[in-house]
A and B are shown apart, each in its own frame.
Chain A
């Protein structure tokens, strides 16, 4: 993407850069992308596609490094949720081991895995609850009562002690994963929050969605600290840089049309918009590499992932 070169320059000038940023890249899959993740070592980009494949590329060279089956939804760079043929249950796969670990006998609205990979949270629209499972075995741990509509997004705190479900009924619930107790219910939204994420230090929870705004909550008091406005489009995807300084948001303009949209970079401390880049249409996934070297983004119905090179902090 040509326009993002300017972004790289901006970020380099804003940050302490030790080398020129490598060129931006496009990774091409064989079919539209459902979900996208970057490996913990920042070396691989993974995408699950509607062709029921999971493609893996080398993040540095852009070369394909693996092509696996089955397809589904990536919970992280190793766990994949595959929907059963009758749509009534899901299979959870360990991609590295090429092993189907267990089956969950439910239709799930949303799922998320804790940062340490040990806890799996799943939302059921039919049962109106969120369940915590042992991610390795599928053993149920807790059942938490949720609202109607299922989760639009689920987020674990970095230490895994808290899980948040932002529901399609507009309400947000915060639970302790140890006790399963409801810690806080946030009922002030008038629109679902499609993206929820804690800052890397766990002190703040960011949520964004239908109403185009980004809400920054104190993750201790659960009070609203700040609202970032000006994105101007419904927000579907959000990523926070590993240093916790930059937030990136993307989404869609008009669902009936594949209009180009913008991806917005924000300075979290000041709430100021740093820069916008264009995306061809509805941005569904955004991810920073854990080392901060790249931002990856994918769009609805698109077979391509765009890697935006950021200021390299590596020697």
Chain B
């Protein structure tokens, strides 16, 4: 595999240098193929997702469900999405994403599977969960979501997602991210988008959204 990348990159460079990209198809490669090359090259540069600790609350056997939030649950609705790929940009067959977090009041379900799921990403490698913002608890007072991602032929990734909007980071995670040694890396504190609720019965409620791509290394 290591030889495939430079040759593809070289080919792309060749295309650019000969004006195929600027000048159109020129009979060799279609725009679509060139675009695919671009996309793949971009994806190939993907850095593996940084890791963090597993923590004590992981439980095997969670259900494969994207809907962790039940009607009436306390806490601000949160949608979490992302791609599950490897550092070559490939979707990994058989990838599984274990995700778990504390409830609104900072409590983990230690005997059942509330706010826990083991997801199979779709054919494009996408995953989504509908949940609530995790609460704060004394031992680790920054909101976070735990991840354990495995795929055949790849190194299992253990990581966590944190929230840049968390009051714990005092509005400035660049400065405060190492506070209490909670997040292992600044990059794991993610920007949060806020959405106003729609109108009508089918509309999404007001909610927060984070995008967390999970990029695994080959074993």
Contacts and interface: CB of A to CB of B under 8 A. Distances in A.
B110 A210 contact: yes
Interface stretch (A32-40, A68-76, A147-155): A147-155
A293 interface: no
Given A149-B54, A190-B60, A255 B111 contact: no
A237 to B, nearest CB: 13
From DSSP, what is the main secondary structure of chain A's interface residues?
Answer: loop
Contact of B54 (A169, A210, A234): A169
B106 interface: yes
A87 B148 CA distance: 24
Contacts of A234: 110
A168 B61 CA distance: 14
Interface residues of B, number: 25
B158 A254 contact: no
Nearest to A210: B110
Interface in A187-212: 189-192, 194, 210-212
Interface string B41-85: 000000000000111111111000000000000000000000000
A241 interface: no
B108 A255 contact: yes
From DSSP, what is the main secondary structure of chain B's interface residues?
Answer: loop
B56 A170 contact: no
B125 interface: no
Nearest to B51: A126
Contacts of B57: 192, 210
Interface string A96-129: 0000000000000000000000000000010000
A256 B57 CA distance: 14
B156 interface: yes
Contacts of A125: 53-54
B1 interface: no
B59 to A, nearest CB: 5
Nearest to A147: B156
B55 A255 contact: no
Contacts of B196: none
A256 B56 contact: no
Counting chain B CB atoms within 10 Å of each CB, the highest count among A125, A152, A210, A256 belongs to A256
Given A149-B158, A210-B59, A256-B137, A191 B54 contact: no
A255 B60 contact: no
B30 interface: no
Counting chain B CB atoms within 10 Å of each CB, the highest count among A87, A170, A258 belongs to A170
B105 interface: yes
A255 B61 contact: no
24 contacts: A125-B53, A125-B54, A148-B54, A148-B156, A148-B158, A149-B158, A152-B56, A169-B54, A169-B58, A170-B59, A170-B60, A189-B60, A191-B110, A192-B58, A194-B56, A210-B59, A211-B111, A234-B110, A254-B107, A255-B106, A256-B102, A256-B136, A256-B137, A256-B138
